[in-house]
Amino acid sequence: MGKFLLMAVDYELLIRPNRSWLRIEWRDIFAYRDLLWQLVRRDFTSRFKQTVLGPLWFVINPLVTTVIFAVIFGRVMGSAPDGVPALLFFNAGLLAWNYFSSLLASTGATLHGNVGLFSKVYFPRLIVPIAQVFSNCIGLVVQFFTFGILVVFVWATDPAFANVQLGWRLLWLPWLLVHLAILALGSGLLLSAITAKYRDLQNIVAFIINSLMFITPVMWPLSALQTKFPNHYEYFMVLNPLVSIVEAFRLALIGVGSFSLGYYAVSVLVSVFCLLAGLMLFQRAARTFVDQA
Length of the chain: 293
Judged by CB under 8 A, does residue 290 bind another protein?
A: yes
Residue 35 binds to another protein (criterion: CB under 8 A):
yes
Residue 117 CB, nearest approach to another protein (Å): 5
Site for another protein in 170-229 (CB under 8 A): 197-201
Listed ranges 31-39, 65-73, 100-108, 222-230: which one lies at the site for another protein (CB under 8 A): 31-39
Residue 16 zone, left/alpha/beta (φ > 0; ψ -120 to 50; rest)? beta
In the chain, the N- to C-terminal Cα span, in Å, equals: 41
Decide if 278 contacts 193 (C-beta within 8 A): yes
Confirm or reject binding of residue 152 to another protein (CB under 8 A): no
Q: Is 261 near another protein (CB under 8 A)?
A: no
Contact range with another protein by CB under 8 A, out of 1-9, 172-180, 224-232, 234-242: 1-9
The answer to whether 257 touches 251, Cβ cutoff 8 Å, is yes
Nearest residue to 172 (alpha-carbon basis) of 85, 91, 250, 99: 250
Binding flag, residue 52, another protein (CB under 8 A): no
Binding status of residue 46 toward another protein by CB under 8 A: yes
Give me the least distance between CB of 132 and another protein, in Å please: 15
Phi, psi of 103 (to 5 degrees): -70, -40
Name the residue type at position 129.
P
Task: Single out the segment in contact with another protein by CB under 8 A; choices: 7-15, 84-92, 147-155, 254-262.
Answer: 7-15
**What residue type is 47 in one-letter code?**
R
Residues 20, 21, 49, 156: which binds another protein (CB under 8 A)? 49
Stretch touching another protein by CB under 8 A, among 3-11, 73-81, 144-152, 225-233 = 3-11
- Sequence-distant (≥ 6) Cβ neighbours of residue 243 within 8 angstroms: 215, 216, 217, 222, 236, 237, 263, 267
Nearest 5°: CA angle at 137, between 132 and 140?
135
| Residue 230 makes contact with another protein by CB under 8 A | no
Which residues contribute to the site for another protein (CB under 8 A)?
Answer: 1, 4-5, 7-9, 11-18, 31-32, 34-35, 37-39, 41-42, 45-46, 49-50, 116-123, 197-201, 287-288, 290-292
